[in-house]
Structure 1
Amino acid sequence: MEAGMIDVAFALEGHAVPQEHRYALAEALLGTLPWLADEPDAGVHRLKLVAGGGGESLLSPRTRLTLRVPRGRGDAACALAGTELRLGPHRLRAGRPQQRELLPHGTLYAHLVAAEDADEAAFVERMRAELAALGVAAQPVCGRWQSTEAGRLVGCSLMLSGLDAAQSLRVLQQGLGGHRRLGCGLFVPHKSAAAVGAPA
């Protein structure tokens, strides 16, 4: 069963980024890959960073910039390799790309799914409706509520379990909620239910 979406991961050269960098990163990527705006399911995974000081987060040798894109856009996404991304005063350079298949897993986790406000009951109902539209009967389990980007993004981490392979692939490909280019609503396989409380 082949997914219609893939992940394309890039090593990053650089030292740090602003702690709140989602909008800046999305804008920088659109400058190089403008077609991202035409792909509603395409998104940008959360950067895995190290806490720093002075409003910065630090890159580690394992930090990767990972895009989730339609399979037919995989080669186009690889054009990001070697380009410079400016996030305020910080500069990053994308390294060699690696294309990765989306593999189904019984338990999926998203670090941040965007909500309209902090009404958890309304949020859960909306998630159930989106899952039903995908033909997925899993019960969404909310984690920690978060506000980032100066309050412009509100949401929580979310875990889904008990998925079969077809359901898992549908969620991986389409995600939940909005703001994919800001790192929201993108799911990855996870083995531990404890992760639902992890920070974004």
Structure 2
Amino acid sequence: MVDLSFALHGRTLPRDHRLLLARALAEELPALRDDPRVAVIPVRLVSGDADPALLSARSRLVVRVPRGRAAELQALAGRTLRVGDSVLTLGDAQPRELLPHATLYAHFVDAGDADEIGFIDAIDRQLAAMGVPCHPVCGREQRVQGPAQPLHGYSLMLHGLRARDSLRMLELGLGEHRLMGCGVFVPHKSAAAVGD
């Protein structure tokens, strides 16, 4: 697996853009719908309450793909995506290798209808089934637009990962809706973001 980081040219993006962005990408490359390994890391937006949100000069679209599909995805450079009422043009993609970190963070992991205790119990079971010992820390409860109905979930930090387990979590993620950026982990240096 490799991350492809596309420069973004545009002004705004809806705050809740996960589903809209996944659909826009799948319109350009329909095969993305059928590959559960492909994941999108949520786009960083300027903080605040305005909707649509402004893109910062450093905003990037990062798509995590199997190495064998990288060239196919790099062909998106120069294409224009309509994401709700926003228009984005993708710049060149820079490949970035996945590197293990002891602490990983996911902005949103789908919890179904589970409360925080049920969510952590389910995460503990999934991690045990994968043979990944670590300390999960549940973050802020959230709702995002889903394919059929709103998705309910939490941010999640995994702390104390061994290098090989960290790489597995970066590659596999947790849960469904990876093209929407759900259950997709990124390296993190502190526990502070778990409430974000």
- TM-score, normalised on structure 2? 0.94
Match of 2:159 in 1: 161
Aligned to 2:139: 143
Q: Does 1:152 align with 2:153?
A: no
Q: What is the Cα deviation at residue 116 of structure 1?
A: 0.3
Give the alignment of 1:65-144 within 5 angstroms.
Answer: 65-144=61-140
Amino acid at match of 2:8: L
**Does 146-155 or 163-172 show the bigger shift?**
146-155
Distance in 2 (alpha carbons) for counterparts of 1:140 and 1:89: 37
- 1:104 Cα deviation from its structure 2 partner: 0.4
Structure 1 CA distance, aligned partners of 2:50 and 2:123? 36
Q: Is the 8 A contact 1:52 1:58 kept in 2?
A: no
Shift of 1:155: 0.8
13, 17, 28: which is aligned to 2:13? 17
CA distance in 2, matches of 1:29, 1:133: 32
Q: Say whether 1:190 aligns with 2:188.
A: yes
- Give, in whole Å, the separation in 1 of the partners of 2:175 and 2:135: 15
C-alpha distance in 2 between matches for 1:21 and 1:67: 15
Residue matched to 2:176: 178
Q: How far 1:162 moved relative to its partner?
A: 1.1
Moved more, 45-54 or 131-140: 45-54
Amino acid at match of 2:162: D
In structure 2, C-alpha distance between the alignment counterparts of 1:16 and 1:173, rounded to whole Å: 29
Q: Secondary structure at the residue paired with 2:175? A: coil
Q: Partner of 1:19: helix, strand, or coil? A: coil
Residues 1:46 and 2:71 aligned together: no
Which stretches in structure 2 are left out of the alignment for 5+ residues?
A: none
Structure 1 segments (4+ residues) deviating >2 Å: 51-55, 148-151
Aligned AA for 1:134? M
CA contact under 8 A between 1:118 and 1:145: conserved in structure 2? Answer: no
Unaligned runs of 5+ in 1: none
**Contact preservation (8 Å) 1:134, 1:170:** no
Instruction: Give secondary structure in 2 for the equivalent of 1:26.
Output: helix
- Pairwise CA distance, 1:88: 2.1
Q: Alpha-carbon deviations, 1:77-129, whole Å to 9, x = none?
A: 10110001001221100001001100001111111111102411221121112
Q: Is the 8 A contact 1:84 1:93 kept in 2?
A: yes
Following the alignment from structure 1 to structure 2, what is the Cα–Cα distance between the partners of residues 18 and 139?
33
Give 1:28 shift. Answer: 0.4
CA 1:107/1:52 → structure 2, altered by over 3 Å: closer, same or farther? closer
Q: For 1:141 and 1:102, how far apart are their aligned partners in 2?
A: 22
> What secondary structure is seen at the aligned counterpart in 2 of 1:80?
coil
| Residues 14 and 92, structure 1, Cα contact 8 Å, conserved in 2 | yes
Shift of residue 166 of structure 1? 0.6
Partners in 2 of 1:22 and 1:10 — Cα distance? 16
Distance 2:49 2:189 in 1: 32
Report how many residues are paired.
194
